[in-house]
Chain A
């Protein structure tokens, strides 16, 4: 029987449960995430950076991939998280776990406040507002160099051992374990959100924002909620960065970072939960490999890549794979009854 025919005969509850259940590929992915400890112990610092960026991309996926909100300034929340954790450490409190929570809270608060503006706009106005928020924060952080350290960044961050036991080592083992654990936990949370009634409402907003009020949906309220959550997660990712690298600088909230994470998410495939992860892995491994390249030439290739993705695989790598899978399924001869 074709997969469509099977779907038609399955009861609604079973179908929804099957949709939300863990796939083998997901389990494989997370198990594979443990491999760097064994297979690539020299690259654990890079791995921790990838995990942090993946978390950031996941937060963008919540608002872009699942809710359809195009943001060119998402790094604002990442940066707030980074600086909150950094400043806490500079002021004497270097405990990482509480630092994470406080950074997430600070970024979440800023996200909540800005969400009132965000929720009211669409199209170009929305793009400009998100861009404006990011640029504003970037400028303000630059101007407030007494607080942020300006161009040089925060000096004197020192992260205490996690749970008083796990010190950050030079090889990045603790950093990667820490980042991966936080990523996994927050991923579980986001996965839950996606498969909740709220997640369905988000997709409704993405699919047809106009229709939502006509079915009684408080669209702006939904947008404010998801935006706040996404901002908090981005803030936690930023905090992870400053804690593991013991630096916090302006580029954490710059336009470049906002643009990079957007590229990564699109590359991997937005709205598929794992798109940001795939995109982050591919992008950052590539960047590491070509790190000797002049930054301008790097962006030449990224530019070409963007053009190619939009033209040929607008749903990213995961979207392309899904398309291939469907083609293979359809072209496979049907089994005899």
Chain B
């Protein structure tokens, strides 16, 4: 049996009578680029929260490679290479871009526990952080405080933080959300440039981007996986159309 980089088996979660995940089954083979789409409230972000450990499932298991990580706390999953970004920027407002990414690198290298040596002694970590920022065209603003950066660059910083954790599996929650059309292409170019060693699952509403970057699409509705297939299959699927019917005017489908 070939291993998936990440899989969720029979995941269930409800809040009282509100079911946010019902028998969810997802398998991500290594190195793929999958998209997760669905109307608002379908449970996509919830699924990411369940897979990364921010939420505990009522039933089901999460596997990272061969390992069952269902019982692991979030930071342990990150250590093992399961990393996510947030739909709404979750950054460190008063830290500079460089400090933020350096922090992530230090945490990964277990250097963040060290309180008796100065940060300036950790040249490798700083260099690595700077390299990540350069790769995302943020090197020029690396000494600016996060809160002073324009939104598009903050979104890139969100990804930089994720990359600093050296992910094996990367879960991107609407990476282009709120970013104007002209700038989102740059963002996705950055994602397209990601190594094929990294498995990527991204939540997106913009079908243009889904078609461009995803090899396979998973559709979620009401906490369940409705259907899974190639972008062309999904676009032609009548059930998917029915779900999005009437939502076209909200700009969810191009």
**Which of A13, A193, A211, A217 is in CB contact (< 8 Å) with B123?**
A13
Question: In residues 184-231 of chain A, which contact B (Cβ within 8 Å)?
Answer: 192-193, 195-201, 203-204, 207-208, 210-219, 221-222, 225, 229
* Contact present for B75 and A213 (CB under 8 Å): yes
- Min distance, Cβ A256 to any Cβ of chain B, angstroms: 31
Which segment, of A4-12, A32-40, A259-267, A299-307, faces chain B?
A4-12
| B contact residues around A211 at 8 Å (CB) | 86, 90-92, 161
* Contact present for B119 and A214 (CB under 8 Å): no
- Min distance, Cβ B74 to any Cβ of chain A, angstroms: 4
**Which of A8, A200, A201, A214 is in CB contact (< 8 Å) with B140?**
A8
* Contact present for B93 and A217 (CB under 8 Å): no
| B contact residues around A165 at 8 Å (CB) | none
* Contact present for A16 and B90 (CB under 8 Å): no
- Min distance, Cβ B47 to any Cβ of chain A, angstroms: 16
* Contact present for A201 and B112 (CB under 8 Å): yes
* Contact present for A196 and B90 (CB under 8 Å): no
A interface, size bucket: 35 or more
| B contact residues around A8 at 8 Å (CB) | 140-141, 143-144
* Contact present for B112 and A208 (CB under 8 Å): no
Q: Given A20-B118, A214-B78, does the pair A225, B113 have CB atoms closer than 8 Å?
A: yes
Q: What 1/0 flags go to B83-105 for Cβ under 8 Å of A? A: 11010001111110011101110
* Contact present for A196 and B115 (CB under 8 Å): yes
Q: What 1/0 flags go to A230-253 for Cβ under 8 Å of B? A: 000000000000000000000000
Question: In residues 148-167 of chain B, which contact A (Cβ within 8 Å)?
Answer: 161, 164-165
- Min distance, Cβ A302 to any Cβ of chain B, angstroms: 28
| A contact residues around B125 at 8 Å (CB) | 197
16 contacts between A and B (CB under 8 A): A7-B144, A15-B143, A16-B126, A20-B118, A196-B115, A196-B117, A197-B106, A199-B119, A200-B112, A201-B107, A201-B112, A208-B93, A214-B83, A215-B161, A222-B113, A225-B113
**Interface pairs A-B: 8 shortest CB-CB:** A198-B115, A216-B78, A207-B92, A213-B74, A215-B104, A201-B112, A213-B75, A7-B143
Q: Hey, which bits of chain A sit against chain B, CB under 8 A?
A: 4, 7-8, 10, 12-13, 15-17, 20, 192-193, 195-201, 203-204, 207-208, 210-219, 221-222, 225, 229
Known: A192-B115, A207-B94, A216-B165. 6 other contacts (CB 8 A): A8-B140, A12-B142, A13-B123, A200-B95, A204-B95, A218-B75
